[in-house]
Structure 1
Amino acid sequence: MASDVRIEQLWIPDSLDGPDAADFVAAVEVGRKVRMQTWGSDDLAYAPGEKLLEMADPYERQVILVARIGGEIVGTVDIALPLADNLDLAEFTLDILPEFQRRGVGRQLLEAAEHFARDEGRHTILIDTNHPGASLSDSGSGQLVPGSGPGFVPLGSREVEFARHTGYTLQHIEQFSACRLPLDSRLVVELAAEAEEANGGRYRLHHWTDRCPDQWLEAVATLENSAGEDGVPGVDDPEMVLDGGILRQAEEVAIAQGRRTVVTAVEDLNSVLLVGLTTISVLALRPDVVFQDDTVMLQAHRGNKLGLLMKVANMERLTEQFPNARVLYTWNAPENRYLLKVNQQLGFTTAGVTGIWQKELPDFGPRVS
């Protein structure tokens, strides 16, 4: 156990220009180095400016605890506390510099984060572990299967060992995939033709960026809520009921954070209703790395290759508007075979998996310091 570790809450500066921003920049750099170690690139790492923008999210309070050894920040835990729903939940992202791993730093940071969360009235904790594709093929390490759904994480991984020893239970797996951009033009023509043939001209696509047109605002809210009732993978929280006002607020938050949103929706011409949509997010400071967000489709309209139709069109629009985008990342539940098949047709390859772990904290009552 590292006895010389000091845990403290990180000061969040107003900007990156002042001398008080040095610790914040150093903390963000810890996360970048960990992602380099895991994935071999920093595509999934925050730039300091991006992280600073995210800290102002009105739907989620974020607190960062840091571990110092000899004054140097060697580990961080980002604590996300939802403010609009899931008020018993806290999500942790724990990062320890590679050269300080296996020295007890992570355990001390995690314990401090759990105390903080419990003091905030949060008892359900989620953490994740990330496993690149190469680690999944190591049959000698064994496999740990989640409590629900297919997939596995490698039993012998340091992250898995740490999560189990600190009392977390593996809940489910998300498959992490990547697609190089732009799409091959011949592939686009082939897939669009395949999708058009399957749906027989009964549907029409609509596109927008950042802000949903007024005419579709309530329709999008209805679609998201209906899709949530169907349990469609891609809806973050099916218990949260959306309306046009909430969607507008979410759009304003994204715009304030510098995030761009490219959307394609599909309308059923018979009912004149939106029956599906797909969304790609572009971050303010990393326009070369983009992320697939929701893809939702009403149950009654599945089987018409509308997911393929929407995603091909949206990826083409993305390339038109953001020509510097070079890679699109997505996470999917392994049981969502339809979307995984669509992604495979588009050229996505599996980069690895993310394990989602959960722990229920006991309520010990108020702490006395």
Structure 2
Amino acid sequence: MTDDVEIGQLWIPDSLAAADAKDFLDAVEVSRKVRMQLWGSDDLAYTPLEKLLEMADPYERQIILVARIDGRIIGTVDIALPLADNLDLAEFTLDILPEFQRRGAGRRLLEAAEQLARAEGRTMAMVDTNHPAASLQGDAGGQLVPGSGLGSVPMASREVDFAQRAGYTLQHIEQFSSCALPLDSKLVSELEAEADAANGGRYRIHHWTDRCPEEWLDAVAALENAAGEAVDDDAAGGVEEQLVFDAGMLREAEDAAIAQGRRTVVTAVEHLASGRIVGLTTIGVLAQRQDVVFQDDTTVLQEHRGNKLGLLIKVANMQRLSEQFPDARVIYTWNAPENRYLLTVNKQLGFTTAGVTGLWQKELPARAGTTSSE
């Protein structure tokens, strides 16, 4: 029954202690409970303060719609509208309390999010579905393969059925993995020796936290731009426009991360003969919860691959992470299934598959009364 469901925009308070913060706290708790049901833990759930800080992200406008029954918030949809690139895109994250699923609230929320996105001039919507490893067992006939042709999601999934009924098409799969921290010291020694033997002393690693040293700013910007020409990332996405980075933009991104309470542990590798930064890996740490961390991008320039630089910098960065943030107990990462090299490196490090994320797209029709000049 959808008649009892009321849809509205969530008020974002100035602080969690404000008198008008209750609805915001309730909405964050809905998302936490959904992740508890899905993954068996709240490792992937925002704390209220983390979510409040994220709402001030300068690179995307964020809006939250909520569904209420008898005044109680029973579902949310986060709407992210990129402001720097992908200006035609709206990304939705939909959560409905388990006991209120299959009652039409999710469809009402998604339709409201699509209407808002169209009003903002967005023409493409993206949603994700998440599937724990235990749900991935079964024959190939029970799996839906994305447009990329790699990976799959279970056809029997409620989320898959919902996305298809809502008119979304599965475009891409990301493999979701986790690894316990700290790494075993014997394993670290073995992997370091393997990487050192492959690169033959031709490279040197560098570390920093939060802010890139001034001397490497331009080199890192050049690496980011070169990496955009060929995907080699831990968190490879579906359809992304690549920004052209410069030193100023990197500093702005660092400032934004710090303002949102995020820490960033970085290891880079320098090619000694050229003095050029040719590889980089980063791990993100949420300041309010340092026991759960996230592997971000790992990039090695094409011409320097084959020297096990990805292994070299990832081992070094995970070691540095444990030194700086000893409370970190687990690290999560997402990988495109076609990125066999990084998946192999992750397996060497001890990552195991936790599940998959399906990325779904839908073209949004233009609003009635609008015209195109093209």
Shorter-chain TM band: over 0.9
Percent of residue pairs identical: 74
Q: Residue by residue, what CA displacement relative to the aligned partner does 1:276-334 show, whole Å, maximum 9, x if unpaired?
A: 00000000111000000010010001010000000000000000000000000000000
Measured in 2, the distance between the counterparts of 1:292 and 1:174 equals 14
Label 1:337 to 1:249 Cα distance change in 2 as closer, same or farther (>3 A): same
1:20 maps to what in 2?
20
- Provide the rounded CA distance (Å) in 2 between the counterparts of 1:332 and 1:276: 17
Structure 2 residues without counterparts, runs of 5 or longer: none
Q: Is 2:172 the counterpart of 1:169? A: no
Residues 15-94 of structure 1 aligned to structure 2 (within 5 Å)? 15-94=15-94
Partner of 2:245: 242
Mapped to 2, the partners of 1:5 and 1:199 lie a distance apart of 60
Equivalent in the alignment of 2:341: 338
2-side partners of 1:74 and 1:347: how far apart? Answer: 38
Going from structure 1 to structure 2, the CA distance change for 1:366 and 1:211 (only over 3 Å counts) comes to farther
Letter in 1 for 2:184: D
State the alpha-carbon separation in 2 of the partners of residues 200 and 156 from structure 1: 50
- Distance apart, 1:231 and its partner CA: 2.9
Deviations 1:101-148 (A, max 9, x none): 000000000000000000000110000000000000144980000001
Distance 2:59 2:107 in 1: 28
Output the CA distance in 2 between the equivalents of 1:43 and 1:123.
Answer: 33
* 340-349 or 358-367: bigger deviation: 358-367
- Distance, in Å, in 2 between the alignment partners of 1:47 and 1:139 is 38
Q: Following superposition of structure 1 onto structure 2, how do residues 81-230 of structure 1 map, counting pairs within 5 Å? A: 81-139=81-139, 142-230=142-230
The answer (yes or no) to whether the contact 1:173–1:355 under 8 Å persists in 2 is: yes
Pick from 361, 365, 369 the counterpart of residue 368 of structure 2: 365
Residue 239 (structure 1) shift: 2.2
Q: Which amino acid is the alignment partner of residue 249 of structure 1?
A: E
CA distance in 2, matches of 1:140, 1:98: 28
* Matched residue count: 367
> Hey, what's the Cα distance between the residues in 2 that align with 1:28 and 1:140?
36
- TM (norm. structure 1) is 0.98
CA distance in 1 between partners of 2:141 and 2:319 (Å): 41
Q: Is the 8 A contact 2:236 2:334 kept in 1?
A: no
Partners in 2 of 1:186 and 1:327 — Cα distance?
18
Distance in 1, matches of 2:220 and 2:368, equals 43
1:276 to 276, 279, 293: 279
How far off is 1:74 after superposition?
0.3
Please give the root-mean-square deviation of Cα atoms over the aligned residues, in Å: 1.2
SS at match of 1:38: helix
Partner of 2:187: helix, strand, or coil?
Answer: helix
Match of 2:307 among 287, 304, 307: 304
Q: Which runs of 5+ in 1 are unaligned?
A: none
Determine if contact 1:77/1:109 at 8 Å carries over to the other structure.
Answer: yes
**1:187-230 alpha-carbon deviations (Å, 9 max, x no partner):** 00000000000110000000000000000001001001101112
